[in-house]
Structure 1
Amino acid sequence: MRAALCGLLAALLALPVAAEADERLADLVERVAPSVVNLHTSGLRQSRSYWDSFFGGPRRWESLGSGFVVDEQRGLIVTNQHVIGSATEILVMDHEGQVFEAQLVGADEGIDLAVLQVQGLSLPAVELGASQQIRVGEDVFAVGNPYGHGHSVTRGILSARARSLGRDEFDLFLQTDAAINPGSSGGPLFDAEGRVIGVNTAIDARGESIGFAMPVELVRAAMALLVAGEAVVPGWPGLRLEEERRGLLRVAAVYPDGPAERAGVKIGDVLQDVDGKPCRGRSGWSEAFGGAFPGDRRVLGLLRGSRQINAALELQSRDRWARSRVGSPVAVEALRVRVQRVAPDVADSLLIEGGLEVVVVGRGSFFRRGDIIIDVNGRPINNAGDLAVAADMALRKRWLAAIVIRDGSKARIVQRW
């Protein structure tokens, strides 16, 4: 009886605290809601079949999403690129139902971010916070436009940080159990003080209450580049790692004249830490490099045999490295081949402009000597750098589809690891 009374008393004492927390959240929502907008985008989808030309041609598509004001004076709004897509019309609706037409300032598919501008917009800007200062387990809340129903609020906690979604670029996300439904993409994730700590970007459809947001630090850097009209390019370390037991990361490839090779990294080195912070598994790698840009510096703590060494490297653009490798044949270890540029007369006879000829085939390779590789996973192959980059990305996805010219005819090679 006494235990029951104590439990009841504890529950009654907790009620004012819960009520106070709810009231505080309501005050925060009232303050930040005017900065969050609903997006309605539309465009024309090009005909894909012969018969479409007889039945109306291109078809109109529509999409819903969310966004938030980041610059009140210039009327700048941030959202996800996948919300905008190839839209020819972008409409912005504020919390009072007023509709404005927006113009696209800049967008990047790799990072999945877009910046819009609305002339004459007089909505307050959000306050950008710092996701790195939020501890796992702290309260967060999201505001968005789920299924087009208008402003909606969901609450939860920061479930985890440095999550990887297996993307090729900018693979660094916060995880939350605050509901993020279709239509809420591009909306803000707030901390308990009403500051934006991320852009709600994706959900895991395999389970409930598993949402992912792009960290505000990454958003801030990419937004500045897009507004300036510059490309958003990820920083590349010039190496490939393989994950072994217990999250151990071992260097499996070092790309010629890349950042890692210049820093003295060797194949077989074991990665122990990055900038003094232990690095284990995909999540550790994503945390260290998922939000990096060219010019950023990292110090790798490596174990080579029994020796502890440090390698200081400056990240660069992977595409710029690939362009610098034009005309430089290279052994692509991941594919067990060595390639060289196609002779001009051969290229002319085959009516191709790029491509690489396989001149040496290693044991276990699925290419043949004499194959001319012209495409890997949808990426045109014009030089050895292109092939090395494409092979690296294919290994990370554990899937490769290559188009080659074999015995004068095109062939498709598919390989899974």
Structure 2
Amino acid sequence: MSINYIQRGVVAAVCSIVISQPSIAAAPVDFSSLVQTVSPAVVRVNVSKKMSQEELLQQQMPELLRRFFGNNVQIPNQRLPQEQNAYGSAFFITKDGYLLTNHHVIADASKVTITLNDRREIDAELVGSDARTDVAVLKVKGSDFPALRIGDANSLKVGEPVLAIGSPFGFDYSASAGIVSAKSRTMSRENAVPFIQTDVALNPGNSGGPLFNRQGEVIGINSRIFSGTGGYMGLSFSIPIDVAMDVANQIIKTGKVSRAYLGVMLQDIDRNLAEAYELSRPEGALVTQVSDDTPASKAGLKAGDIILSYNGTPINRTTDLINLINRTRPNQTASMVVQRNSKQLSLSATLTSAPVDTPPAESMKTDQGKGPSLGMQLRDLTPAESQSLKIKGVIITDVLPGGLAAHAGLLPGDVITSLNNTQTPTAAALLTAIRSLPSNRVVRIAIQRDGVPAIVGLRVE
């Protein structure tokens, strides 16, 4: 085999001399100077938080056991502490001590500190966070911190080299490089963050750290990976810095994030619908419902309209429109190009504040406070969702693997309408009912899944 390999190499060399084709392979990008310049502005985030037994068990279970038996293995004779330490990354955006990190890094934290490049550890204050975009702002006392330069994520090109710095598994100031694999990747309709996809090696502890371009400007916050094992598999996702700074500026100024509300239900356009609506290709956001007395209804939007652009920005998918609406301020007027009955119309809508249900920045967990932990996260249905589904209830946004909710077969997207025949129109009402439950009994949970009602029996331990 080695001889054949060498022979092929000789032939290739001769051919290259005859044909004289220039090589298109570029030399690897040298980030060494950049790493030295920007590293002082990157910090490790040290978090103390209370964790449920399901979360602790999932973290402490050996990987070999998890691969063979899933998350249902019980580890005997092991005392599970309630207070745990976790790590993440953050970076300075101002010289007077404001930092950016991820919401999931500091969620439910009882104490947050940061470790600087010179090994000093400083107490950090949580200014505010937003679960919808997974952005959080921290503040430390002091001045003359090395703030990073903010770049333009919109100018990124697929194939462009990028650099990440963070504390994977607690290994501080680890640098990894890669390229931009894709832009505007979305994970869910609710969040609608247009993630930057890269092949940069990210692992637990990188969350909240900066993603740099070749000029040393921050163009993203490293947020998540796509993995079947919990480790890096070549698919990493970062929040565009313009999205993050929009959230951060609101939090720093007002302590909260305000979003605008249009009042429509939307659906993507597939190939068949594009043909049915006489579109040249699948594009736009199809309006399936317009809520009464909303900016959409007042602007004249109707079910069946296709929104093709919003404030001059073309809409390819519903998530494009949701992201743009999320970044619009209440009371601002938005212009839209709409297709209706094969004709294009121009409409304007003055958006209002998004209805307040369970605040998205504080997604509620069933293990908050006293009472049994069911291992799921909840939020209230929005008025538009409640009207569309014709029910009042609480939607499950996340289910902890190996938790009681997962064992009962509950799924993200299920809407809980009652518990033991007691109506639960809000997450607060459901949590109150859960906390009053006795242990070691099965409760009846009424849900609606994909429009179909069902009853789930869940054993509370």
> In which range does the TM-score fall when normalised by the shorter chain?
0.7 to 0.9
Q: Deviations over 1:243-295 (max 9, x none)?
A: 24234532101111212112111011123333344322345435544544434
Q: CA deviation at 1:152?
A: 0.9
Q: Call closer, same or farther: CA 1:181–1:304 in 2, change over 3 Å.
A: same
1:413 aligned to 446, 456, 460, which one?
Answer: 446
Q: Check conservation: 1:164, 1:286, Cα contact below 8 A.
A: no
Change (3 A) 1:141 1:300: same
TM-score, structure 1 as length reference:
0.73
TM-score normalised by length of structure 2: 0.66
> CA shift at 1:404, angstroms?
3.9
2:159 aligned counterpart, secondary structure = coil
CA contact (8 A) 1:171 1:290 kept: no
1:221–1:391 CA distance, 2 compared to 1 (3 A): farther
2:40 is equivalent to residue 40 of structure 1: no
**Corresponding residue to 1:59 among 79, 82, 85:** 82
Displacement after TM superposition at 1:113 (Å): 1.6
CA RMSD of aligned residues (A): 3.7
User: Residue 163 of structure 1 contacts residue 286 of structure 1 at CA under 8 Å; is this kept in 2?
Assistant: no
Q: Which residue of 2 aligns with 1:129?
A: 151
Counterpart CA distance in 2 for 1:67 and 1:179 is 17
- Quick one: structure 1 residues 321 and 269, their matched pair in 2 at CA, closer, same or farther if it must change by over 3 Å? farther
Aligned-pair CA distance for 1:407: 7.8
Partners of 1:391 and 1:158 lie apart in 2 by: 43
* 3-state SS of 1:265 partner: coil
Is 2:86 the partner of 1:69? no
Residue type of the alignment partner of 1:95: N
Q: Distance in 2 between matches of 1:197 and 1:63?
A: 25
Equivalent position of 1:387 in the other structure: 386
Distance 1:212 1:236, change over 3 A: farther
Q: Distance in 1 between matches of 2:177 and 2:234?
A: 10
Q: 2:353 aligns with which of 317, 323, 331?
A: 317
Query: For the structure 1 residues 152 and 386, does the alpha-carbon distance in structure 2 shift closer, same or farther, using more than 3 Å as the test?
Result: same
Of 275, 295, 302, which residue of structure 2 is paired with 1:259? 295
SS of structure 1 residue aligned to 2:136? strand
Contact preservation (8 Å) 1:253, 1:267: yes
Amino acid at match of 2:125: Q
8 Å CA contact 1:162–1:287 kept in 2: the answer is no
Match of 1:4 in 2: 13
Q: For residue 343 of structure 1, what is the aligned residue in structure 2?
A: none
Question: What CA distance in whole angstroms lies between the structure 2 residues aligned with 1:78 and 1:148?
Answer: 18
- For the 8 Å contact 2:192–2:320, the answer to whether it is kept is no
Separation (CA, whole Å) in 2 of partners of 1:266 and 1:239: 9
2:197 corresponds to which residue? 175
Structure 2 Cα separation of the partners of residues 118 and 42 of structure 1: 17
The whole-number CA distance in structure 2 between the counterparts of 1:298 and 1:6 is 60
Read off the aligned partner of 2:45 and give its amino acid letter.
L
In 1, the alpha carbon distance for the partners of 2:390 and 2:237 equals 28
1:11/1:99 Cα in 2 relative to 1: closer, same or farther (>3 Å)? farther
Mapped to 2, the partners of 1:191 and 1:391 lie a distance apart of 48
Structure 2 partner of 1:372: none
**Which residue of 2 is the match for residue 194 of structure 1?**
216
- CA 1:47–1:13 in 2, change beyond 3 Å: closer, same or farther? closer
Q: Which residue of 2 is the match for residue 227 of structure 1?
A: 252
Aligned to 1:280: 316
Distance 1:296 1:158 in 2: 33
Residue 273 of structure 1 aligns to a residue in which SS? strand
Contact 2:264/2:384 (8 A) holds in 1: no
Distance of 2:333 and 2:165 partners within structure 1: 35
Q: Which moved more, 1:25-34 or 1:224-233?
A: 224-233
Task: Give the drift of 1:125.
Answer: 0.4
Aligned in 2, Cα 1:287/1:139: closer, same or farther, shift over 3 Å?
Answer: farther
- Partners of 2:290 and 2:303 within 8 A in 1: yes
Per the alignment, do residues 85 and 378 of structure 1 end up closer, same or farther by CA in structure 2, a change over 3 Å counting? closer
Query: Judging changes above 3 Å, is the alpha-carbon distance between structure 1 residues 380 and 251 closer, same or farther for their aligned structure 2 residues?
Result: closer
Q: Which amino acid aligns with 1:229?
A: T
2:84 is the counterpart of 1:84 = no
Q: Is the 8 A contact 2:183 2:195 kept in 1?
A: yes
For the residues of structure 2 that align with 1:135 and 1:69, how far apart are their CA atoms? 25
Q: Give the aligned partner of residue 344 of structure 2.
A: 308
Query: Paired residues, what number?
Result: 351
Alpha-carbon shift at residue 216 of structure 1 (Å): 1.1
Following TM superposition, by how much is the alpha carbon of 1:224 offset from its aligned partner in structure 2, in angstroms? 1.4
- Mapped partners of 1:233, 1:46: distance in 2: 31
CA separation in 1, counterparts of 2:33 and 2:389?
A: 50
- Pair 108,400 (structure 1): closer, same or farther in 2 beyond 3 Å: same
Question: Quick one: distance in 2 between partners of 1:251 and 1:402?
Answer: 26
Aligned mate of 1:153, from 175, 190, 194 = 175
Aligned-residue sequence identity (percent) comes to: 28
Partner of 1:18: 27
Q: Which runs of 5+ in 1 are unaligned?
A: 49-54, 323-376
CA distance in 2, matches of 1:398, 1:82: 18
How far apart are residue 394 of structure 1 and its match? 6.1
Q: 1:278-357 maps to which residues of 2 (within 5 A)? A: 278-285=314-321, 288-289=324-325, 291-319=327-355
1:294 aligned partner, one-letter code: P
Q: In the aligned structure 2, how far is the partner of 1:197 from the partner of 1:26?
A: 18
Flag the 1:408–1:216 CA change in 2: closer, same or farther, 3 A. closer
Distance 1:409 1:270 in 2: 37
107 and 389 in structure 1: CA distance in 2 versus 1, 3 angstrom threshold: farther
Deviation at 1:222, TM superposition (A): 1.2
